[in-house]
Amino acid sequence: MLDYLPLILAGTLAAATPLIFAGLGELVAERSGVINLGVEGMMLIGAIAGFAAAAETGYGAVIGLPAGALAGAAAAAIFGFFALSLTANQAACGLALTIFGIGLSAFIGQHYVSYSLPGLQPIAIPLLSDIPLLGPALFRQDWVVYLSLIAFALVAWTLTKTRLGLLLKAVGEAPEAAHAIGYPVIAIRYGAVIFGGAMAGIAGAYLATVYTPLWVQNMSAGRGWIAVALVVFATWKPTRLMLGAYLFGFVTILQFHAQGLGISVPVQLLAALPYLATIVVLVLISRDRKLLQLNLPASLGKPFLP
């Protein structure tokens, strides 16, 4: 068991990284009162944009992640136009964006099916990476994993310690009151939605250029939906979201080491574990209505007309 522990921990951090990026982006969008169910589609758009940019330029994730962020932000802006400017149903717009992202990524990605990228080398943090057992697993990761931790810290600090975080909360809780005192509600929501799209794009680009550096159709494999569920699981709190992402990352990576650990479970059941865990967690969270009502943004999913 101890022999597998470093591998499982290292795999957990890598598997949780796209969930952290996508989940943080969706959390910011929902804190502003907008629910975007198109995270899966934005991840796929970011994945193909990042992979194509990395493949054509030869710079790998260094150019792939910014390209994915821009593509995800552009997709989110389209969602914002329909959901915010035209006040269309947010859930329907998000589902349409997911379908669009699946189709667009498959169409563009057919030219890159047999292409692979070099990936990233892990960066060892001095002293910490030398800690027995845990050091190589936790402190010898690629730079995108460390970037996800920085992103978490910045988002958590912004939401809880800054004026911008208070504005997002005001717009998500009482947009009419925020508008009455002069704040541009629609513009703030646009910013939150586009930020969420950029983060989803980074998550997708990470999958395509680092985690599995080759193009596979529908490579997000439902992670966008797990990210949306994580926001509810975390009751719109960044710290809980990060812990939840690591939990789901652990469940995801466990399926690859189950046989080595002597767990005799059908492969199909192991592959379904992350999604079964998502359903179980959502059912358990939904039973605590008081917890949801205390943290749920009051205007989530409701259109606003100035």
Domain ranges in the chain are 5-116+125-295
pLDDT of residue 121 exceeding 60, the answer is: yes
Q: What is the pLDDT of residue 277?
A: 78
User: Do 306 and 185 meet the contact criterion of CB atoms below 8 Å apart?
Assistant: yes
Q: What is the pLDDT of residue 99?
A: 97
Nearest Cα to 221, choosing from 207, 236, 235?
207
pLDDT digits (tens, 9 = 90+) for 149-174: 999 999 999 999 999 999 999 999 99
Largest CA distance in the chain: 62
Q: What is the pLDDT of residue 6?
A: 79
Q: What is the pLDDT of residue 128?
A: 82
Which pTM value belongs to this model?
A: 0.94
The verdict on domain 5-116+125-295 having CATH code 1.10.1660 is no
